[in-house]
């Protein structure tokens, strides 16, 4: 079952460095250049299947996109590939900008 995480929950998780998840931003490079969450690694959706060795297996993995739709697809794919602790950022960076960081550029 795919778990969802809200931007506020992710911000709380990031505030506890001993619990820091891996954050994968699956948008395109041009989107990532406009805005991204500090610490998020860019891994465009199309590159995920060939990059499974980059996915953490020892801590939670939060998948991020613009609104949470592409990231949900990637998160489900990773679950099907045997990655156990995957979370989808509900609402993506758009909701992060709204709920956590109103100074973040949006598009």
Angle separating helix axes 92-99 and 7-15, nearest 10 degrees: 70
The answer to whether 41 and 23 have CB atoms below 8 angstroms apart is yes
Selecting among 37, 65, 78, 87, the annotated active-site residue is 65
Active site residue 65: yes
Active-site residue list = 65
């Amino acid at each position: 079952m795919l778990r969802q995480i809200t931007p506020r929950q992710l911000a709380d998780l990031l505030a506890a460095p001993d619990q820091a998840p891996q954050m994968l931003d699956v948008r395109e490079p041009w989107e990532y250049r406009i805005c991204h969450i500090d610490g998020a690694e860019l891994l465009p959706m199309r590159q995920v299947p060939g990059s499974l060795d980059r996915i953490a297996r020892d801590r939670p993995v939060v998948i991020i996109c613009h609104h949470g739709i592409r990231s949900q697809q990637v998160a489900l794919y990773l679950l099907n590939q045997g990655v156990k602790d995957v979370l989808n950022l509900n609402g993506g960076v758009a909701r992060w900008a709204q709920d956590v960081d109103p100074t973040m550029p949006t598009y």
